[in-house]
């Protein structure tokens, strides 16, 4: 064998940068380099992308199926593992029906894997209990933009950053989390494009922005409504756009009539003068782009906040043209795709309603068999139903909810209460440690398929290496499991066959093929007969629902404000150098060098009141849990607010977080809960979550 360089796509964030994997004659991955001509990454990668080889290295990978025997795992064959799963599922079906089992799929895996997962749930298990991490990420975007615009995705393209007159970043930290795209924002700003950042923390972009609106956490709706009030009162709205393309303006205008910037100042903490300036800049600029993220969605008011942003863009006519739009920064490499594939309880591929009789008929015809009829549970719904005894068997791949779902103690209790927990993973995560059966999964470098990035670009990934040991691609083991359960409905031979079946059933992907994707550096959906080259800007002439719907929304306070017992408000954020549960990035010595394993950011005023020195060991407690970590003293967070990343299993911020949910989407309020912080003896190292657990 000779050495080779294979083009593929970075497996971390939703930017979808083009990477090349270098493989030597012994089939070892020897390095990573950027694709010079990739349309988004343009010959660059961030540190995570450069570190990909560590993330998928054969060391510490799971290489064969494992069976739990009390507290130990024993290696078994694939045949035995899948037979055990099959037997256990049959018992649960007989005793409790298909509502008691479900699948959680992965926004890190391919479209093909995700299409197979929802087909397995709906056609083989006959349940709509299928979900994935979008639930706790951009599910409010999917729901909010669907209602207002008819389509829940980024309306414009990354390249528009260079083709706009104003960039507004609200509740997102793109230099850390969408680093290459964040780099484009820095670049465009340095070349003269004005930048407004709306964030309670002083992020890297906030430090260089023309205006930083440092609002109080959870006050987005109050701020946006005050902007709408100002825009309408000053006649800065786009009357002709509203008349031609929107409905519901009267109700919206009367909802904000009394919401002056002065009246909401106690809620937002933002001066009325600054609100007016931002409102003027956004409405009076020819083209303005909004980028947003978890600082909008991860609240009990997540869906309403997304709707408020859509209202703002529509009223100003800042949509449907290059350099405008409302642009959710979808997080995971393939979270847009996992949603498009229908790995959500309420929709089939292409957002076709799961409860509509005609949709069920279409899929049961094409798939050759009956499909699920009843409503499905969300991921957190499955956790809840487990604790009430109504849910008993979970097949999960490519997620680590013990570290990434809110209220860790509650999640662990639920996973332990299951009759059957199957986890397919690259490495032994905290969740895999609780499984009855662990399956070895192939990483992105060891399989063919596609990822859909945040700007709806569907890109090919190519197999570079053989999977280590007995590891298999996710759709491949799902196929064998389906066959063991008596179904041939997943019996594809290649990833391309899976893609072709999916594209035929998914209107927005209908014009795509592997060949077309390879020729074009991917294609942006919708790609069909009307748009064979894909679509860079959505909603140019019309919305999928005809006219866009302006919808009045009302401010809702956060569920758990600070009080006497828990006097600080905790928010959670991300660090540039680590990703999600850390199971991939923490294998890189380069990335691991950059930050201690867990840290709490605290303002000097609060640190002084608590007599904390830099890096002092501290305890942090909420109504749900306790952890120990170190204090990082910084002005980036205002007094009263503390912040923690969620990447570190040693100091998991999800010990503390609140499960209070957005009523429509069940998004938990990951961005705000009340905590108390206290110093530990100065020479006592913080205990890890594992140590604290063992002491209990
Ligand atoms: N390095 C790295 N990159 C990642 C990830 C990672 O784990 N590590 N994860 C990926 C994933 S899954 C996702 S979803 C994306 C997420 O990317 P982002 O959306 O950028 O994620 P966060 O850092 O969680 O939160 C964004 C910002 O919201 C702000 N915020 C908090 N409360 C409020 C509020 O009330 N109003 C406003 N306006 N802002 C508020 C926070 O201060 C923070 O700066 O990143 C992706 N990229
Ligand atoms: N407190 C707090 N908690 C949060 C957030 C927050 O802002 N604050 N953000 C939330 C958000 S936005 C998200 S998206 C979630 C993310 O939560 P998760 O989805 O649980 O996080 P990841 O680290 O991406 O976990 C993915 C796992 O998939 C595995 N994997 C990668 N590729 C493959 C594959 O091809 N096949 C299989 N089988 N496995 C694979 C990796 O090894 C890794 O362990 O976290 C959420 N949790
Ligand atoms: S910005 Fe995202 S896609 Fe690009 S290299 Fe970094 S992690 Fe990978
Ligand atoms: Mo996410």
pLDDT digits (tens, 9 = 90+) for 70-117: 889 999 999 999 999 999 999 999 999 999 999 999 999 999 999 999
Mark 469-503 as b/e (b = at least 16 C-beta within 10 Å).
eebbbbbbbbbbbbbebebebbebeebbebbebbb
Considering every ligand atom shown, identify the ligand nearest to the alpha carbon of residue 224 and give its number: 1
pLDDT digits (tens, 9 = 90+) for 614-650: 999 999 999 999 999 999 999 999 999 999 999 999 9
pLDDT given at position 596 = 87
pLDDT given at position 1 = 56
Average pLDDT over residues 421-425: 98
Do 92 and 100 touch, CB atoms closer than 8 A? yes
pLDDT digits (tens, 9 = 90+) for 451-503: 999 999 999 999 999 999 999 999 999 999 999 999 999 999 999 999 999 99
Measure CA 533 to chain center: 27
Query: Which ligand 2 atom minimizes the distance to the CA of 644?
Result: 1
- CB of 13 shorter than 6 A to ligand 1: yes
pLDDT digits (tens, 9 = 90+) for 207-241: 999 999 999 999 999 999 999 999 999 999 999 99
Which residues line the pocket of ligand 2, CB cutoff 6 A?
106, 108-109, 133, 136-137, 294, 298, 331-332, 397-401, 404, 424-427, 429, 441, 443-444, 474, 572, 580-581, 583-584, 646, 653-654, 657, 670
Cis ω before 196 (30° cut-off from 0) = no
Q: What letter would DSSP give residue 636?
A: T
Q: What are the φ/ψ torsions at residue 534 (nearest 5 degrees)? A: 85, -175
Ramachandran quadrant class, 690 (left: phi over 0; alpha: psi -120 to 50; beta: rest): alpha
Query: Which ligand 3 atom minimizes the distance to the CA of 180?
Result: 1
**Angle, helix 474-484 to helix 78-96, in steps of 10 degrees:** 60
Measure CA 469 to chain center: 30
- Domains, the chain, ranges and CATH? 3-55 (2.20.25.90), 66-133+333-524 (3.40.50.740), 139-329 (3.40.228.10), 568-695 (2.40.40.20)
What does the angle CA 202 – CA 204 – CA 207 come to, to the nearest 5 degrees? 60
pTM of the predicted model as reported, rounded to 2 decimal places: 0.97
Alpha helices in 316-345 (DSSP H): 335-340
pLDDT given at position 278 = 98
Q: What letter would DSSP give residue 678?
A: E
| For ligand 1, mutation pick of 14, 132, 225, 295 (most atoms within 8 Å of CB) | 295
Average pLDDT, whole number, for the chain?
A: 96
pLDDT given at position 3 = 82
pLDDT digits (tens, 9 = 90+) for 17-54: 999 999 998 888 999 999 999 999 999 999 999 999 99
Average pLDDT over residues 684-695: 93
pLDDT digits (tens, 9 = 90+) for 521-569: 999 999 999 999 999 999 999 999 999 999 999 999 999 999 999 999 9
Q: How far is the CA of 666 from the centre of ligand 4 (A)?
A: 15
CA–CA dist 27, 54 (Å, integer): 15
pLDDT digits (tens, 9 = 90+) for 162-195: 999 999 999 999 999 999 999 999 999 999 999 9
- CB of 170 shorter than 6 A to ligand 1: yes
What does the angle CA 20 – CA 22 – CA 26 come to, to the nearest 5 degrees? 155
pLDDT bucket at 691, cuts 50 / 70 / 90 = very high
CA–CA dist 506, 499 (Å, integer): 10
Average pLDDT over residues 142-154: 94
Do 203 and 197 touch, CB atoms closer than 8 A? yes
Element (H, E) at 409: helix 408-417
pLDDT given at position 27 = 84
CA–CA dist 22, 2 (Å, integer): 11
CA–CA dist 72, 609 (Å, integer): 47
Query: Which ligand 2 atom minimizes the distance to the CA of 397?
Result: 38
* Token representation of residue 472: 């298999």
CB < 8 Å & 24+ apart, contacts of 26-35: 26/1, 27/1, 27/465, 27/466, 29/53, 29/56, 29/57, 29/445, 29/464, 29/465, 30/3, 33/5, 35/7
pLDDT digits (tens, 9 = 90+) for 279-310: 999 999 999 999 999 999 999 999 999 999 99
């Amino acid at each position: 064998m000779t050495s080779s360089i294979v083009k593929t796509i970075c497996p971390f964030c939703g930017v979808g940068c083009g990477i090349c994997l270098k493989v030597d004659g012994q089939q070892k991955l020897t390095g990573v380099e950027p694709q010079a001509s990739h349309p988004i990454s343009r010959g660059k990668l961030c540190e995570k992308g450069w570190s990909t080889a560590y993330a998928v290295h054969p060391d510490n990978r799971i290489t064969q199926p494992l069976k739990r025997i009390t507290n130990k795992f024993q290696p078994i064959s694939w045949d035995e593992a899948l037979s055990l799963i099959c037997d256990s599922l049959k018992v649960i079906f007989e005793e409790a029906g298909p509502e008691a089992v479900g699948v959680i799929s992965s926004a890190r895996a391919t479209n093909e894997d995700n299409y197979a997962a929802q087909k397995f749930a709906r056609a083989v298990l006959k349940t709509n209990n299928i979900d994935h991490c979008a639930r706790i990420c951009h599910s409010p975007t999917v729901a909010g933009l669907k209602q207002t615009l008819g389509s829940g995705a980024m309306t414009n393209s990354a390249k528009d950053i260079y083709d706009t007159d104003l960039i507004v970043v609200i509740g997102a930290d793109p230099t850390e989390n969408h680093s290459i795209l964040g780099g484009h924002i820095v670049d465009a700003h340095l070349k003269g494009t004005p930048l407004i950042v709306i964030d309670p923390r002083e992020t890297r972009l906030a430090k260089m922005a023309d205006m930083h609106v440092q609002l109080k956490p959870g006050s987005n709706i109050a701020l946006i409504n005050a902007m709408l009030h100002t825009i309408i009162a000053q006649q800065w709205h786009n009357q002709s756009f509203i008349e031609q393309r929107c409905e519901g303006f009267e109700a919206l205008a009367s909802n904000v009539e009394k919401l002056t910037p002065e009246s909401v100042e106690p809620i937002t903490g933002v001066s009325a003068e600054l609100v007016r300036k931002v409102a003027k800049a956004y409405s009076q600029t020819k083209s303005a782009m909004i980028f947003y993220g978890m600082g909008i969605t991860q609240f009990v008011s997540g869906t309403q906040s997304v709707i408020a942003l859509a209202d703002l863009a529509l009223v100003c006519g800042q949509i449907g043209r290059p350099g405008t739009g409302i642009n959710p920064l979808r997080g995971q490499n393939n979270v847009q795709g996992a949603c498009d594939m229908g790995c959500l309880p309420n929709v089939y591929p292409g957002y076709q309603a799961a409860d509509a009789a005609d949709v069920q008929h279409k899929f049961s015809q094409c798939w050759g068999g009956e499909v699920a009829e009843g409503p499905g549970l969300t991921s957190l719904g499955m956790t809840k139903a487990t604790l009430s005894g109504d849910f008993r068997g979970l097949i999960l791949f490519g997620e680590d909810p013990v570290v990434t779902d809110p209220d860790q103690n509650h999640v662990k209790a639920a996973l332990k209460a299951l009759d059957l927990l199957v986890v397919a993973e690259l490495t032994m995560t905290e969740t895999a440690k609780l499984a009855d059966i662990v399956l070895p999964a192939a990483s992105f470098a060891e399989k063919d398929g596609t990822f859909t990035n945040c700007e709806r670009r569907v890109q090919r990934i190519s197999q570079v290496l053989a999977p280590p040991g007995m590891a298999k691609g996710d759709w491949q083991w799902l196929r064998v499991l389906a066959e063991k359960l008596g179904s041939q409905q997943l019996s594809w031979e290649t990833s391309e066959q899976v893609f072709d079946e999916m594209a035929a059933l998914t209107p927005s992907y209908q014009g795509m093929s592997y060949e077309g994707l390879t020729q074009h550096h991917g294609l942006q959906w919708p790609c069909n007969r009307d748009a064979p080259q894909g679509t860079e800007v959505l909603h140019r002439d019309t919305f999928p629902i005809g006219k866009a719907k302006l919808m009045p929304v009302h401010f809702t306070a956060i569920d758990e404000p600070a009080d006497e017992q828990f006097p600080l408000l905790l928010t959670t954020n991300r660090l540039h150098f680590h990703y999600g549960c850390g199971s991939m990035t923490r294998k890189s010595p380069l990335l691991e060098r950059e930050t201690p394993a867990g840290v709490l950011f605290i303002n000097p005023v609060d640190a002084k009141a608590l007599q904390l020195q830099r890096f002092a060991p501290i305890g942090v407690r909420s109504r749900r849990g306790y952890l120990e970590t170190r204090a990082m003293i910084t002005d980036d967070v205002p007094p009263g607010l503390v912040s923690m990343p969620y990447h570190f299993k040693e100091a998991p911020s999800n010990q503390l977080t609140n499960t209070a949910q957005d009523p429509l989407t069940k998004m938990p309020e990951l961005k705000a809960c009340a905590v108390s912080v206290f110093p530990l003896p100065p020479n006592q190292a913080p205990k890890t979550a594992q140590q604290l657990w063992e002491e209990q």
